[in-house]
Structure formats: C-alpha cells, structure tokens
Amino acid sequence: MLIKERTSILSSEITSEAIFLNRRKLIKAAAGISVAALLPASARAQVKKYAQVPVGPYSGALQPTDYEDVANYTNYYEFSTDKKSSTVLAKNLQTSPWSIAVEGEAEKIGVFNLEDILKNNPLEERIYRFRCVEAWAMVVPWIGFPLGTMLKQFKPTSKAKFVEFTTLYDPKVMIGQKTNVLAWPYVEGLRIDEAMNPLAFLATGMYDETLPNQNGAPLRLVVPWKYGFKSIKAIVKIRFTETMPATAWSKMGPSEYGFYANVNPEVAHPRWSQSRERILGASIFTPKRKTEMFNGYGEQVASLYKGMNLAKQY
C-alpha cells in the first residue's frame, strides 16, 4: 500500500531503461572508477567542493541521471506540490549556519551546529560518494555519510527503538507550509536497526557539489530501499524514542503510506497495482517492468523484516 511519486513525468527526466535494469550493481564497490569522469557535461561543470571526496563502499559504476533533471524535478511540498517550482522557490532558504536539535533517549542531547557534527569524523570516514536509485528511478551520485555514523555520536540508549526526523518549519520561506496538504512540520522516522544499516545515509551534496536547496540542503535522508517520501529534507531535529513516530504521510493517508514504506511489488496501493513500474521519462508506450522487492536491495536489508507481515506492516 505504498506509493512512488510518478506524476507529470517528462521524457527528459530519466536514466535509460537499459541503465536502470542494472540497478543491482549500485551496491557493488567501484574501486578505481572515476565518478567525475562519468558525469554528464552539465554536472562536471558543477564540480567544486567535493571533487576529491573518496568513493565509498556502496558506490556503483552506472551512468547517473543528468544533473539538470535531478535538480529541477523534486518533491518538496514545503515549497510547492508542483515538482518544478521548488527549484525557484527554495532559493531563498538560508542553509548556513544550520543547527540540529537532538532529543530523547540518548546520552548526548542538545542543539548542535551541523558543521561541528560533521567535523567529529575524519573526511575519509564520514563523506562518500553513493550512487543510488532515488524516488523516481533516478541514479544520483550523492555525497553523504552513513546515518548510523552520526547517530552513534549521540550515544542512543537501549530505550531508543526508533529515530524521528523533523524538517524546518518556516512558512515565510517555505510557502507550501501555509497550505494544509500535510500536517507541518514534516516528520519521518526509521526503526533504529534500519537507521543503523549502512545503506541508510545522510546527503550533504550531489554531483561533487554542495546539495542544492531544492534537493534538501543542507542535510537530507536517503533510504535506497524505501519509497521516496521517507527521504526527509532540511532536517532540524532528531529524536530517539521508544515508540513509533507518527509520520507526515502516514497521518495524511494511513491506508496508503505506511511507516515502513518498503518498496514491495506484492502489496497493492488502494488505487492501483505496484507490481510493475514505468521508468521515469519513458514513453507511455514503453512496456512497464517488474518492480523489484526492496528496490533491488533485498540482499542487504531483507533480514531487517524477518518474521514481519509486510502486507500489514507496509
């Protein structure tokens, strides 16, 4: 009963199907491969801050989606429900300095400057290039670090069963928050073992450059085996809790947006089947392909859900 955001798709906004069919390769090491050399010309022009960042263990050798497509087609309801408008509307968001409040079941709580958090680990341990399938089957060379690496800094206690994330609330800038399309501020969450899985990570950049505002700057969550609505943007609060958080989309439509949000072709959305999918940007005449369980990352994450009824715990 999950949903991938797939509306208003243009043919220019997707990696080719041949590339996408190889997405299992995304999680294989790509030592010795120059990511910058694989970038399209528009993205290579963006190479600045992260050009020398080491390639991480979950990078892959696939050709990324064009930078312009990724930067100009986003789901960012805090600004607009229109997927093109956030590119312009988000320009006024001030992302530096940026603070994150840490609350709940952890030994180290308080308000921390993002730069101080990032400096707690050496560069070679905290920043990697991850190339992952995003919410719309885009292949994005994210610059980020494992979520678990940061969470461990705060020393969560044994009572911490879940991690809750909250987005900035600023209706003057994030004008979409003036609407009632969702309950603001945006809240998302993961079970603690999901959060500690090395595939879950926090992005601070993409395509060798600092993360654009419309893509979630300065800090966004990326969970490659889940639907895109789990990838909360502009995070300002992290709370460790014993109980499952009430998340934004689950509150809005509990029968459609479950807490787990795992890509599962065997569980139909109330209004359509999710067993097959069309690659973003592909012609409506292009045959749909079979949706992969856990978005193709079953080997890495299926054990997290052993014994669960995924039709009920969707």
Contact 188, 246 (CB under 8 A): no
Residue 124: is its pLDDT beyond 90? no
pLDDT in tens, 206-255: 888 899 999 999 999 999 899 889 999 999 999 999 999 999 999 999 98
Contact 69, 150 (CB under 8 A): no
Residue 170: is its pLDDT beyond 60? yes
Q: How far is CA 164 from CA 11, 101, 102, 241, in A?
A: 36, 11, 10, 7
**In the chain, domain spans:** 17-305
At 165, is the secondary structure helix, strand, or coil?
A: strand
* Buried b / exposed e along 66-92 (16+ C-beta atoms within 10 A): bbebbbbbbbbbbbbeebebbbebbee
Q: What is the CATH number of domain 17-305?
A: 3.90.420.10
pLDDT in tens, 38-91: 334 444 444 457 777 777 766 655 567 788 888 998 999 999 999 999 999 999
Average pLDDT, the chain: 80
pTM of this prediction exceeds 0.85: no
| 35 CB-near residues (< 8 Å, 6+ apart) | 55, 59, 129, 131, 141, 208
pLDDT value of position 117: 87
Which helix (H) or strand (E) is 148 found in, with range? helix 147-153
Place of tokens 């879940």: 162
